[in-house]
Amino acid sequence: MPKQQKIKVAIVGLGHWGSNLVRAFQSDDRILQVVGVEINLERRKFISQKNPKLLIFSCLDECLKDNSIDAFVIATPTETHYALGLKCLEANKHLFVEKPLSDSSKSARHLVDLANKNKRVLMTGHIFLYNQAVRQMKQLIHQGKIGDVLHIKSIRSNLGPIRSDVNALWDLAAHDLSIFDCIFNKNPIKVSCHAFSPLGLQQQDIAIGTLEYSPTQTATFFVSWLDPVKIRQVTVIGDQKMLVFDDMKQDNPLTIYDKRVKLMSSKDNLNSIKGAKSPIEFHVGDTYSVPINKTEPLTEECRDFINCIFSRQNPQSDGKNGLRIVSQLEALVKSYSQNGASIKL
Ligand SMILES: NC(=O)c1ccc[n+]([C@@H]2O[C@H](COP(=O)([O-])OP(=O)(O)OC[C@H]3O[C@@H](n4cnc5c(N)ncnc54)[C@H](O)[C@@H]3O)[C@@H](O)[C@H]2O)c1
């Protein structure tokens, strides 16, 4: 636990997401000061106009000279996560890295090992683990409310933002993989993926992947930053009921469908053939919304990081979590590089 009652946090990268992180950390009363680090002069000017009290350094090395800063949050492009994160851990700081933790499993593992060795908190910004709808979904599944999970389908599309350092798989599917990971609570056995570049740019705009967790438990995702419609939807197919999490719905994002397919046993089948009944029966019952606590996932995520700095426990979205997702992303890349080959993990 830090000697002082309150801690200082530096947000590295004050772009779209870094600005949100500044706001979230500034709103926690255990934070003494939030400072920023931003290499782009225009961006520094812009942020200073909006947030005149925010002290902004022009590079991480300058900021690291201030020994009083306890923790660093990396919200820069993915390709810079490892190099910047490494400097912070080497300076013995607690570290929160935006998703994905790094751009290779080798470098992600190095960050995990170093944080362990230095006894520092390492967190990955898998924000959906702090989303109340996802938490509620997991709880309902664990309570057996939808039966055994057979399949999860995720769609994440929008027009932009288009990144130049990573493709749509690394940028968007990192979220879906972390939701699958949270629900199945285990690594997939094998994965496959196809990725496309209709814009002809270096980075693929669309990716479609499949993950097999067991012979009866699978997941699929579709991610795209080249789509006119913004969709953020996860469907969980249980053998008793089905769940849909629609993140575009402000109110009631989580719905339970009392729907299932009943497959007749072979004995039933024989009888049903005699009686000219279908061997497949559909059950269609009620559809109802699940009440969700209205807390902002980003606030919850930052709170977990601060809690863990004080308690020295592991955040829910810890470094190992980040490493698992990076390893899966790597396997998916291997698959689309081999025309969708099945890759064992
Ligand atoms: N958790 C989420 O829901 C979520 C949402 C959006 C973005 N992100 C993640 O946040 C990160 C940033 O995304 P973004 O959309 O804010 O990108 P962005 O391009 O808007 O911002 C990145 C900023 O980092 C700055 N930067 C680059 N290198 C730097 C360095 N060495 N030192 C200091 N500043 C540097 C850039 O000048 C830019 O202002 C990415 O890893 C992205 O995956 C997470």
Q: Which atom of ligand 1 is nearest to the CA of 125?
A: 1
C-alpha of residue 117 to centroid of ligand 1, in Å:
27
The pLDDT tens digits of the residues spanning 36-73 come to: 999 999 999 999 999 999 999 999 999 999 999 999 99
Q: Is 158 in the pocket of ligand 1 (CB under 6 A)?
A: no
132 lines ligand 1 (CB under 6 A): no
Report pLDDT for 11.
Answer: 98
pLDDT in tens, 183-211: 999 999 999 999 999 999 999 999 999 99
What is the distance in A from the centroid of ligand 1 to the CA of 103?
14
Q: What is the CATH number of domain 7-128+297-317?
A: 3.40.50.720
The string of pLDDT tens digits covering residues 281-290 is 999 999 999 9
CATH of domain 132-295+328-344: 3.30.360.10
Helix (H/G/I), strand (E/B), else coil: 305: helix
User: Rounded to whole angstroms, how far apart are CA atoms 262 and 279?
Assistant: 8
Query: Quick one: which atom of ligand 1 is closest to the CA of 37?
Result: 33
Q: Coil, helix or strand for 10?
A: strand
β-strand pairing of 190-196 with 343-344:
antiparallel
Residue 274 reports pLDDT greater than 70: no
| Other residues' Cβ atoms within 10 Å of the Cβ of residue 66 | 12
Cβ(264) – ligand 1 distance below 6 Å: no
What is the pairing mode between strands 226-238 and 31-37?
unpaired
Residue 211 makes CB contacts below 8 A (sequence gap 6+) with 177, 180, 188, 190, 191, 218, 219, 220, 221, 328
At 171, the pLDDT band (50, 70, 90 cuts) reads very high
Regarding the beta carbon of 74 and ligand 1, being less than 6 Å apart is answered no
| Helix (H) or strand (E) segment spanning residue 138 | helix 132-142
- pLDDT band with cut points at 50, 70 and 90 for residue 229: very high
Across residues 215-242, what is the average pLDDT?
98
> Residue 106's pLDDT band (boundaries 50, 70, 90)?
very high
Ligand 1 neighbourhood includes 340 CB (under 6 angstroms): no
CA distances to 166, 173, 203, 209, 219 from 332, in Å: 14, 10, 15, 7, 13
Ligand 1 pocket test, pick from 43, 76, 123 with the greatest ligand atom count within 8 Å of Cβ, gives: 76
In the numeric block, the tokens 């009888």 are attached to 271
Question: 217: part of which helix (H) or strand (E)?
Answer: strand 217-224
| Tokens linked to 57 | 């350094």
Residue 225 scores a pLDDT above 70 = yes
DSSP for 243-276 reads EEEETT-SS--EEEEEEEEEEPPHHHHHHHHHTT
- CB of 123 closer than 6 angstroms to any ligand 1 atom: no
Residue 253, ligand 1, Cβ within 6 A? no
The pLDDT value given to residue 239: 96
**pLDDT computed for residue 264 by the predictor:** 79
Q: Tell me: pLDDT of 276 over 70.
A: no
Between residues 193 and 276, which one has the greater pLDDT?
193
Degrees to nearest 5, angle at CA 65 with 62 and 67: 140
58 C-beta closer than 6 A to ligand 1: no
C-alpha 80: how far from its chain's center?
18
Q: Is 99 in the pocket of ligand 1 (CB under 6 A)?
A: yes
Domain boundaries along the sequence of the chain: 7-128+297-317, 132-295+328-344
